[in-house]
Every structure is written in structure tokens, then in C-alpha cells.
Structure 1
Amino acid sequence: MTVVRALARPLLSVIFVVQGANAIRNPEPLVPKAQPVTDRMMPMVKKVAPPQVSDRIPDTTANLVRLNGAAQLLGGVALASGKGRRLAAGVLAVSLVPTTLAGHPFWLEKDKTVRNQQRISFMKNLGILGGLLLAAVDTEGKPGVAWRATHGARAAKRETKRGAKAAKREAKQLAREAKHAARLAKAELS
């Protein structure tokens, strides 16, 4: 792991660890802002989720805030430690979307100063989202699964062709040797 990655992951994850822990311990201050988002998103989520998942989704906004906080806390710790870092970055990216929509709805603000502050915070979260997306696809310079699958298939095809050509050459050589042996046997009989 490079020094940059060793520094960047904990720096990127610290906000999620701190805010996730706060949301778990004390969700009530976040509920009023989260309520409009959860009211709109949860019916859609419950509709597309399988019944076994849909039945387990919390009904109260406070518990949804806690669940999002738990996802952020666990994802932040995993990203910072490097254990399951790509999955953790993906989970954090997904959890950041409702957090940003609920926490920084600048389009609803009437006061220009507050709207500007909310817009800046919204854009900062977009920047963090971009960093999380990069972390989610970072293979640390090693080929990813898609690359390995594509190149593995090509290598297998190449090796199969080489094997077929070698077998063909071998068969021709054996045929020549058999012909030669037949001639020798015929000459001895004559």
C-alpha cells in the first residue's frame, strides 16, 4: 500500500466514523431533517426490496437514522483499516446520498446566506462522494476482476490454439514416422 493510500483512507473515513457514532447515540436532532427524505424514499425501497429485507427495514425515522449511522460507522472503520475497503467505500457512497439530501437541501432555503452555506456543504459532500467512488474502484494497481476475466479468457484461447497447433505438428510427425516405418518394413520383407 502506498503512503498516499495509507493517509487518504483514514482521512476520507473520519467524518463517517464520527458522524455515524453521533447518529447512533443521538438520532433525535437529525430526525426533522431526515423525515422528508425517509418519507419519500422508504416506500420505494420497500417496494423494490425482497420481502425478507423489506420486513426488517425500521419503520421510525429515528431508527433509520441510527441504521444509516451504523452503516457509516462500520464503513468508515473498514475503509480506514483497509479491511473490505472497496465494499466499505461503496456502502459509504450509498449512505452519503440520503445524508446529503436530508442535511443540505439548499434549494429549499429562502435566506441567501443559509442557501449559500447549504450549497457549499452539498458540494463538499459531492466531492466526498467522488472520493468514495474512486476508493470503491481502487485495486491498488492490481488488475481488477473484470480485467483478469477478460485477459484470462484471451490467454486460455491463445493457449488452446497453441496446444492445437502443437498437437497437429505432433500428429504430422507421427504420420511421417509411421510412413517411414512402413516403408522400412516393406523393404525388409522384399
Structure 2
Amino acid sequence: MPETPPRFDDVGRALSRLALAAVFVSGGRHVWRHLDGPAQGAETFLKRCRRAVPLLDRFTDRQLVRANAAVHVTAGAALAVGLAPTACATALAGSLVPTTLAAFPFWTQPDGPQRTRQQGDFLKNLALAGGLLAVVVNDRHRSRHTSR
């Protein structure tokens, strides 16, 4: 019996996961290889986090930034191949929050090109979070309807 071809929505779902994953794998790899800039950029944000969560004092800024990069690479790669997409998308969305707050605090910048650039990057990450939320919702909706 011939194998049924994949449905259009299955192909679309896979392509959208792959596109999202590419951003995280690429960005996480870059941060992993060039840790100093991102760790320095996260310093102010991590100081505030340490006041709220003293447990973070056990780790250096570099360790925390590297751990976040590791989440981006591993969860991104797993999302790309469709391995536990809900868990991966949830992990990526969770890790995107500190990444975005640390890297793009546009509200602290005076009006000008730097603020505009940071606001654009902040909004781009917000759009990525929306895409990850769509993966979670779609995967849960799909699993409910296929398990019957």
C-alpha cells in the first residue's frame, strides 16, 4: 500500500517550526562562541535578577548567558526536527524573556537610533514569542483531536 503524502498543514507546521528553530540555533551558537559581549550586555539585568533571586549569585554572568545559549541551541534543534515541540517551544519562550529584557531595554535609552533599533529588536523577539505560542497551541490542539 502506498504511503500517504504529507498533508499541507503538516508541511506548513514543520516549515514554521524549522524557521523558528533556525533563529534560536543560530543565535545560541553565536552567543556560545562569542560570550563576552552578551555577558557584558546582560550585566545590569543580571544584577537586578540577583537581587530578586539570590540563588543566581552562585553563577557568573558568563555561566548564566551560556546556559541560556545552550537552551536556545538544544531546544531549537529539537524543535527543528519536531521532537517534543510543545516542551521545546515553551522552553524557548521562557528563555526568550530574559534574553529580550537583557539585550533590548529600549525604554532605558534616550530617543534616537539606538532606542529605535532596540525597540525593533524587542518587537522582533515578541513576534518570535508569538510564533512559539502558536506552536504550543497548535500542538496541543492537534494532539487533542488526533487522540480520539
Q: Normalising by structure 2, what TM-score?
A: 0.83
Percent identity of paired positions between Structure 1 and Structure 2: 36
**Separation in 2 of the partners of 1:79 and 1:42?**
30
Deviations 1:11-51 (A, max 9, x none): 011111011112222210111211111111234344xxxxx
Q: Equivalent residue for 2:142? A: 141
CA separation of 1:98 and 1:27: change in aligned 2, threshold 3 A: same
Note the alpha carbon deviations across 1:109-143, whole angstroms, 9 max, x for none.
Answer: 12512111111111111111111112123226231
Map residues 38-187 of structure 1 onto 2, 5 A cutoff: 38-46=46-54, 54=55, 59-139=59-139, 141-143=142-144
Gaps of 5+ in 2: 1-8
Out of 29, 42, 47, the residue aligned to residue 34 of structure 1 is: 42
Distance 1:37 1:72 in 2: 19
Superposition deviation, residue 58 in structure 1: 5.1
Tell me the secondary structure at the aligned position of residue 144 of structure 2: coil
Number of corresponding residues: 138
Distance 1:123 1:73 in 2: 21
Q: In the alignment, residue 38 of structure 2 is paired with which amino acid?
A: L
Alignment-mate amino acid for residue 17 of structure 1:
V
> How far apart in 1 are the matches of 2:136 and 2:117?
28
Instruction: Name structure 1 gaps, 5 residues minimum.
Output: 47-53, 152-190
Match in the other structure for 1:185: none
Letter in 1 for 2:104: H
TM-score of the aligned structures, taking structure 1 as reference length: 0.66
Q: Distance in 2 between matches of 1:105 and 1:36?
A: 10
Instruction: Give the root-mean-square deviation of aligned CA atoms.
Output: 2.2
The question of 1:10 aligning with 2:11 is answered: no
Greater Rg over alpha carbons, structure: 1
Highest relative contact order (Cα 8 Å, sep 6+), 1 or 2?
2
**Partners in 1 of 2:96 and 2:43 — Cα distance?**
16
